[in-house]
Amino acid sequence: MTQPSRVALVTGGARGIGAAIAERLAADGCDIAVMDLDPAACADTVARIEALGRRAIAVAVDVANEASVQFAVEAAEAALGPPAVLVNNAGVLREKTLAKMTLDDWQVVQDVNLRGAFLMCRAVQPAMRRLGHGRIINLASIAALGAYGQANYAAAKAGLIGLTKTLALEMGKSGITANVVAPGFVVTPMTAAVAERLGVTFEAMIADVVRDMPAGRPGQPEDIANAVAFFADPRSGFVSGQVLFVAGGPRG
């Protein structure tokens, strides 16, 4: 049976994992607000979604800024309708060991990865409550279990898991689910930039990561998008407060 049209907001949707998620949700029948700091960077993602026959718009948002988030959510709703799906994918890395990490390194990562998800969730929940239906999917990371040189990122992603589980408790009676997809190593521009900052080739980084990975390959953005699509599906209403690690096998 064909599902009714739904509206999904995807932060960090211009490229990488966010773009793959936006396209997969569009293929599943969603109209998409592709949200990113630079709306011009969303043009390719928007075009690919429109080629699938769905509506799509690019929306500028600084997820760490309360006013920007409120304006962006209102703009998306005015253009497409009330959001039924929110995917908090926007994130940044500033990898340093604790001894070298500045307060700014710490705070920027918290602001984008954790504060940003909180602000987006808070902004969409009135519309979802009015609909009597909603799907919130937050992108954490296997780093939430601990990651060398990423105390800021690990703390933010672990906090995101706690936030999500609490939202599942608070919003369940309104028909809203909240779940976490926690990727392992995925081939994206962000991970390529990490290799560059470390002074190694991306190919060498991938080979090192894959060496101990049961799946024998790195993750691709589509792997994460497929997991998000499960949680976003209208038929997943009895699944909430869960963390799905998409990491090519168990850790340790």
Question: Which residues 6+ apart lie within 8 Å of 235 measured at CB?
Answer: none
**3-state SS, residue 157:** helix
Q: Residue length, the chain?
A: 252
Residue with tokens 């700014």, as numbered in its chain: 104
CA 115/CA 157 separation, integer angstroms: 11
Is 148 marked active-site? no
- Output DSSP code: residue 214: T
CA 26/CA 73 separation, integer angstroms: 18
Selecting among 118, 153, 185, 231, the annotated active-site residue is: 153
CA distances from 219 to 30, 70, 145, 210, 226 (A): 24, 33, 18, 10, 12
CA distances from 231 to 48, 112, 168, 228, 244 (A): 22, 23, 13, 5, 10
Neighbour-count burial of 228, counting CB atoms closer than 10 A to its CB (0-12 exposed, 13-18 middle, 19+ buried): buried
Looking at the annotation, which residues are catalytic?
153
